[in-house]
Amino acid sequence: MSRVLGIAPRLPVADLKAAIEFYRTHLGFGLGTSWPEDAPTFALLTRDGISLQFFVPANQSALPSRAAAPDDRPIVTLDVSDARAFHAQLTKSGVAVEWGPEVYWYGRREFAIRDPNGYLVILSEETSDPVTDEG
């Protein structure tokens, strides 16, 4: 059977430039490509062998509603090697943390931030540390 070698979610955004800047500046992604060159409506960002794709939809109603309940919007979860280090780096650079970091019953330390387009970004690492949130 063929193997799945990766996944690259493609997320609609209202502000492509802000998405690129946020993921490059705060999460260390590099810009793989953007298209078209003169007025990009698509960007591929990469880091550590993973990719995120962002696009500006032709139909703005395709965007997730910023008025929607936060849990009704798409979520990006990044599996990281050191959530505490990411947390320290992000708070130092002024990124607001939505919740955490906490260790959950399923053996993950997680915290969440929001990107400029309203997506919840959860940074998660496997851990054997004691649970701090029974949620």
Express each pLDDT in 42-94 by its tens digit: 999 999 999 999 999 988 766 666 655 556 778 999 999 999 999 999 999 99
Of residues 135 and 75, more confidence is placed in 75
Q: Tell me the three-class secondary structure of the chain, residue by residue.
A: CCCCCCCCCEEECCCHHHHHHHHHHHHCCEEEEEECCCCCCEEEEEECCEEEEEECCCCHHHCCCCCCCHHHCCEEEEECCCHHHHHHHHHHCCCCEEEEEEEECCCEEEEEEECCCCCEEEEEEECCCCCCECC
Superfamily of domain 69-135: 2,3-Dihydroxybiphenyl 1,2-Dioxygenase, domain 1 (3.10.180.10)
Share of the chain above pLDDT 70, in %: 90
Global pTM reads 0.89
Class of domain 7-58: alpha beta
